[in-house]
Chain A
Amino acid sequence: MPRTIGDAPRAVTGESAVPRAVILWGLALVCAVIAAGTVALMLMHRSPFHHTRPGGPFAMVDTGGRPVTEADLAGRPAALFFGFTFCPDVCPTTLSLLTEVMGRMGGAADRLNVVFVSVDPERDTPEALKLYLSSFDPRIRGFTGTAAQVAAMADAYHVTYRRVPVEGGYTMEHSAGVFLFDRTGRLDGVIDDGEDEASVLGKLTMLAAPGTCVPGVAEPSSLWDRPMSGGTRGLCGAS
Chain B
Amino acid sequence: MLLSRRAGLCAGLGLLALARLPATAHAATRDVTAGDLVIQHPWTRATPGGAQVAGGYLTVVNRGAMPDRLVGGSFAAADAFSLHEMTVDGGVMKMRPTGPLDIPAGASLTLAPSGRHIMFTGLRRGLTKGEALDGTLVFERAGTVPVRFTVEGIGAKAPSGPGQAGQAMPGPAMPGMDMD
Contacts and interface: CB of A to CB of B under 8 A. Distances in A.
Contacts of A135: 47-49, 154
Contact of B82 (A132, A134, A167): A167
Contacts of B91: 160, 175-177
A56 to B, nearest CB: 20
A230 B171 CA distance: 10
Contacts, number: 101
Contacts of A193: 88, 93, 114
B51 interface: yes
Contacts of A90: 86, 93, 114
A86 B52 contact: yes
B97 to A, nearest CB: 6
Contacts of A197: 170
A96 B46 CA distance: 11
A164 B80 CA distance: 18
B121 interface: yes
A192 to B, nearest CB: 9
Contacts of A107: none
How big is chain B's contact interface, by range? Answer: 35 or more
B138 interface: no
Given A171-B95, A176-B91, A131 B86 contact: no
A131 B50 contact: yes
B37 to A, nearest CB: 25
Nearest to B79: A168
A92 interface: yes
Nearest to B120: A88
B95 to A, nearest CB: 5
Interface string B38-74: 0000000101111111110000000000000000000
B50 A175 contact: no
Interface string A150-174: 0000000000100010111101011
B148 interface: no
B92 A175 contact: yes
B148 to A, nearest CB: 19
B49 A168 contact: no
27 contacts: A85-B48, A87-B53, A87-B93, A88-B53, A88-B54, A88-B119, A88-B120, A92-B45, A92-B47, A92-B48, A93-B154, A132-B48, A132-B50, A132-B51, A135-B49, A160-B91, A166-B82, A169-B121, A173-B94, A173-B95, A175-B92, A176-B93, A177-B91, A193-B93, A196-B171, A229-B171, A230-B170
Nearest 3 CB-CB pairings of A with B: A96-B155, A131-B50, A135-B48
